[in-house]
Amino acid sequence: MRFTTRPELLGTFGAVASTHWIASAVGMAILEQGGNAFDAAVAMGFALNVVEPHLNGPLGDLPAIIWPAGQDRPQVICGQGTAPAGATIDHYRAEGLRLIPGSGLLATVIPGAFDGWMLMLRDHGSLTLREVLSPAIHYARHGHPVLPRVSATIAGLADFFRTEWPTSAATWLPGGAAPAPESLFVNADLADTWERLLAEAEAARGREAQIEAARAAFYKGFVAETIDAWMREACVMDAAGERRRGVLTGADMAGWQASYDDALSVDYHGWEVFKPGLWSQGPSFLQSLRTLEGSGLAAMDPMGAEFVHTVTEAMKLSFADREAYYGDPAFTDIPVDTLLSRTYAATRTALIGPKASLEQRPGVIPGYEEWARAAIARAARETEDAGVGAGEPTMAHLTEKRGDTVHIDVIDRWGNMVSATPSGGWLQSSPVVPGLGMPLNSRAQMFWLEEGLPTSLAPGRRPRTTLSPSMARRPDGARMAFGTPGGDQQDQWQLIFLLRLAHSEANLQEAIDAPLFHSAHFQASFYPRGVRPGHLMVEPSLGEAAIADLRARGHRVEVAEPWTVGRLTATQRDTTGLLRAAATPRLMQAYAIGR
């Protein structure tokens, strides 16, 4: 076995992994209290709202894949809120916008994460709402050690918060200054919000009734009322450089609920891989697998230049299709069967040549030609000077570019599994709603202000999110939950991880530790939606010879700082009941726990 930064953890009782060690510890504690994987995931999600507030929040978004023990296939929970009733192209155009800003109140869709967690807890969990919320309340009330990146993000925005977003200054600048790295940070308003919600919920009798009462308090009661009242008055600076009002109302929140979706899947060399639907970018992973089936990849060195080149070229094609064809299938007839077919994939594989492509090449599907033309035209409009989405969140001038989101993987001793990628509600993307201790999300920036597209802004439509948890069944029947933060990179890093498992003897930790790479060749999902033709970022551990080979093939290679690309975590349950867990050492935050 190769040297790994950490061991692949083995056990039989439980396996958890997340992007912050505190959340992972919370998840294992919940399992040890007798909770199941669904209880643990919910508790981890709320804890991550507290300890990684620059990466996710309670008013953000949640896609999750769940695989209850005994079921043959996983299912998707869609906690992705939709565009408000007032979110029309005409209104946003009248505000002088060509693109939806990456921050501010017009970037907000209906907050979906809370209801997604409640749906999971009600239908699949076993503990009470108080039991899963208590860890988050503890860390909000009594403090948690501030991550250096959180401190730096707040410090960089301190003057902006003071002058433009005073409600954020009140929350994130205790004593008038950014919290020092590793100092204890308290968010009393957030703790008060959860305590009030619990008090109202616990007036109902019974576990499920209390969860339903909490949903009502959040979407029809005091939380929604507070947001509605504030949004009527608030007019705040956004990433496009103007003060604008938002359009989200309490009525929008009251009319929306999280829902279940079927997972999409494809088979690949005996594996079956499961992803959320076309309202996410998840199907790009599945398309890439289909494209690579006929590429000869299995014979390539998974650490070599030919592997990196071939996978990169396949991903460029899949993401070109993402930009042309993905969107909310509840609003638009999207040719998913064609996109995931082997016949279509063969036409895409044939486009992979010996040199790096510098073109945007969505496939041409009969009846959908205009979507492909429009995607090419949009990419041509956004020059390299516009910037490129470097992760979640990415905004023009209000954040560190290297934002991110969070990820959770859990398996319990009974075999229940969760893979969840909550995000949105970032402290740097929207002002704190006064009295609640939490900011709104900015997911509407995924929409285009052009008619006739599957991603055109429209009331009630889900944005085509980048959030994309994963599950897979290995050829031997083992089941795996995995994922990563990273915006447009999520389904690049996850693909590379799975391919190295499929085509080598690597264990979970070895595959995570291996050199990663990604491209920003295609249209970025985040404001200002930049394009960088031929771009390829690689970790230096790939080796100088491989990097030189890639440059010779025409890739515009950017060498990253060591150990900075990707934040993968993974858990697995073998058919024997043996559990495995692994987490990336990159950024020194993610941790897996198994016993």
Beta bridge partners of 483: 569
Measured distance CA(569)–CA(119) in Å, rounded = 24
Sign, CA torsion 447/453/457/460:
negative
Domain membership of residue 75 (yes or no) is no
Measured distance CA(308)–CA(317) in Å, rounded = 14
DSSP string, 204-269: SSSHHHHHHHHHHHHHTSHHHHHHHHHHHH--EE-TTSSEE-----HHHHHT---EEEEPEEEEET
pLDDT tens for 352-367 read: 999 999 999 999 999 9
The domain tally of the chain equals: 1
pLDDT tens for 57-113 read: 999 999 999 999 999 999 999 999 999 999 999 999 999 999 999 999 999 999 999
The pTM assigned to this predicted structure is 0.96
Residue 2: per-residue pLDDT: 80
448: amino acid identity, one letter: W
Nearest to 517 by CA among 538, 540, 548, 487: 538
Domain membership of residue 315 (yes or no) is yes
Strand pairing class (556-559; 535-538): parallel
Domain membership of residue 480 (yes or no) is yes
Domain membership of residue 351 (yes or no) is yes
Residue 390: per-residue pLDDT: 36
Domain membership of residue 384 (yes or no) is yes
pLDDT tens for 422-437 read: 999 999 999 999 999 9
Measured distance CA(128)–CA(456) in Å, rounded = 40
Measured distance CA(48)–CA(408) in Å, rounded = 9
Q: Are 81 and 109 in contact (CB under 8 A)?
A: yes
Sign, CA torsion 318/319/324/327:
positive
Q: Are 356 and 553 in contact (CB under 8 A)?
A: yes
Domain membership of residue 320 (yes or no) is yes
Beta bridge partners of 271: 268
Residue that is written with structure tokens 């907050």 in the block: 111
Strands, E assignment, 407-513? 408-412, 417-420, 432-433, 438-439, 470-473, 479-483
pLDDT tens for 351-407 read: 999 999 999 999 999 999 999 999 999 999 986 444 443 344 433 333 343 447 999
Measured distance CA(49)–CA(190) in Å, rounded = 10
Q: Which domain holds residue 570?
A: 261-394+465-576
DSSP string, 132-189: HHHHHHHHHHH-EEPPHHHHHHHHHHHHHHHHT-HHHHHHHSGGGSPPPTT-EE--HH
Output the tens digit of pLDDT for each of the chain's 595 residues: 689 999 999 999 999 999 999 999 999 999 999 999 999 999 999 999 999 999 999 999 999 999 999 999 999 999 999 999 999 999 999 999 999 999 999 999 999 999 999 999 999 999 999 999 999 999 999 999 999 999 999 999 999 999 999 999 999 999 999 999 999 999 999 999 999 999 999 999 999 999 999 999 999 999 999 999 999 999 999 999 999 999 999 999 999 999 999 999 999 999 999 999 999 999 999 999 999 999 999 999 999 999 999 999 999 999 999 999 999 999 999 999 999 999 999 999 999 999 999 999 999 999 999 999 999 999 999 864 444 433 444 333 333 434 479 999 999 999 999 999 999 999 999 999 999 999 999 999 999 999 999 999 999 999 999 999 999 999 999 999 999 999 999 999 999 999 999 999 999 999 999 999 999 999 999 999 999 999 999 999 999 999 999 999 999 999 999 999 999 999 999 999 999 999 999 999 999 999 9
Contacts of 483 (CB under 8 A, 6+ apart): 407, 409, 419, 420, 421, 468, 469, 470, 490, 494, 568, 569, 570
Measured distance CA(466)–CA(527) in Å, rounded = 13
Domain membership of residue 364 (yes or no) is yes
Domain membership of residue 495 (yes or no) is yes
Report the helix count and the strand count for the chain, using DSSP H and E: 19, 23
Share the mean pLDDT of the chain. 95
CATH code, 359: 1.10.246.130
Taking CB atoms within 8 Å and a gap of at least 24, the contacts of 195-198 are 195/137, 196/222, 197/222, 197/223, 198/129, 198/130, 198/133
